[in-house]
């Protein structure tokens, strides 16, 4: 028996705001969408155009309050080919929430408070 990663899920309050953030901040694009019956929910799968792994954003029509992320001790990580340009872009966007210069990594935060790690491509 062999298992493969296929996607991670984040629940979001404002789907359009989240889609815009992930497009601008990380270049992710919609690869699939599922609309629930009577508009109860929408699932949007975002891809990087390189790997088969996707990020599933779930929007629930009746959800009005922010999600409780607890201590937010989980995250997704992205490798970038131009680390300095990415860091400058994310600083300009105002979404850098933590930078660890000693490790050469930083984190950005999405509109719902999820943390996303950015690491450079290393030889």
Angstrom distance (rounded) from CA 22 to CA 55: 10
73 is catalytic: no
DSSP summary character for residue 97: E
| Given the residues 30, 56, 99, 117, the one annotated as active site | 117
Angstrom distance (rounded) from CA 41 to CA 56: 12
Active site amino acids: 117
């Amino acid at each position: 028996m062999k298992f493969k990663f296929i996607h991670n899920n984040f629940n979001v309050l404002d789907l359009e705001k989240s889609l815009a953030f992930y497009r601008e901040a990380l270049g992710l694009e919609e690869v699939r969408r599922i609309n629930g019956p009577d508009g109860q929910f929408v699932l949007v799968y975002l891809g990087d155009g390189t790997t088969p792994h996707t990020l599933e954003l779930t929007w629930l029509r009746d959800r009005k309050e922010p999600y409780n992320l607890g201590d937010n001790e989980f995250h997704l990580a992205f490798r970038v080919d131009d680390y300095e340009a990415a860091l400058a872009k994310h600083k300009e966007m105002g979404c850098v929430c933590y930078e660890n210069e000693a490790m050469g990594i930083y984190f950005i935060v999405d509109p719902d408070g999820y943390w996303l790690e950015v690491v450079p491509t290393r030889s």
